[in-house]
Amino acid sequence: MRRRRSHRHEEILAILEREGSVRIADLQGRFGLSKVALRMDLADLEQQGALIRTFGGAIRAHNGAAEMPYLQRVLSHPEEKQRIGRAAADLVRDGEIVILDTGTTTLEVARHLAARPSVAAITNDLSIAMEYARQMHPQAHVLGGVLSPLHACLLGPGTERALSQVRADRAFLAADAIAGGHVLERSPLVIQVKRAMIRAAKEVTLVADSSKFGQTGLSPVCDFAPIHRVVTDSGVDPSVLEALRAQTEVLVV
């Protein structure tokens, strides 16, 4: 029963990703369930931050400013991301298992790790998965879930469930922003998956270029207690770096 319900939640989230809203009347026709049962589903998903209930249905949850298009993110601060990616990959020992979060900076980490066949990789990011395929890597694992066209990755309860079965040596996380002692994101679905990645790894490294520091209006993923290290570039304000070093290890490249 729990599994059927989680699958139903995934379908509801997939509809929201495609269309931005759902109606209970339409969900009744799709699932053959009562309005009461479907309202409970929407209430569960709202509690997770995945949607906002409305009269007769729900809309996709949005936090903060509009998401930057993927191509624009790829083209933003490329040299800094390349340096960060190289330095982060150098932290990994042969034979380790790593989780790679969705993001353009984690993609740079992946470009280096994909050339190391002894390092197993787990990711929900489609661009990272294609990089591993391009380099014919023998130990790349793609997490299941609901496809998010906006993020070019897989999200939702299925992704979180898969991560609950993972025990990795390291996780490399990306972020929309860093401010107020917290790692921040716009998407509630992304937030839940990042938290699952943190739980699945022995050590967590945040990779973020200097443009990510100081932005506000987003939702917190976590504070720096579970973050073992931050890898960033020299463009971060010295006072911000000083405050960050009081909370975790910082590697500036």
Q: Which domains does the chain have, with CATH numbers?
A: 2-60 (1.10.10), 70-252 (3.40.50.1360)
pLDDT averaged over every residue in the chain: 90
* Whether the Cβ atoms of residue 132 and residue 140 lie closer than 8 Å to each other: yes
pLDDT tens per residue, range 107-157:
999 999 999 999 999 999 999 999 999 999 999 999 999 888 878 899 999
The pLDDT of residue 35: 94
pLDDT tens per residue, range 66-100:
455 555 555 567 899 999 999 999 999 999 999 99
Secondary-structure percent of the chain, ordered helix, strand, coil, rounded to 5: 45, 25, 30
Q: By mean pLDDT, which of 67-81, 87-101, 173-187, 204-218 is the weakest?
A: 67-81
The pLDDT of residue 21: 86
Dist. CA 20–CA 51, nearest whole Å = 9
Cα distances (Å, whole numbers) of residue 221 to 128, 161, 188, 192, 193: 22, 18, 9, 8, 10
pTM: 0.77
* Whether the Cβ atoms of residue 8 and residue 31 lie closer than 8 Å to each other: yes
The pLDDT of residue 159: 96
Q: What are phi and psi of 170, to 5 degrees?
A: -145, 150
The pLDDT of residue 199: 98
Dist. CA 197–CA 163, nearest whole Å = 6
3-state secondary structure of 232: strand
- Per-residue pLDDT band for 161 (boundaries 50, 70, 90) equals very high
The pLDDT of residue 31: 93
The pLDDT of residue 68: 53
Tell me: pLDDT of 47 over 90: no
Tell me: pLDDT of 62 over 70: no
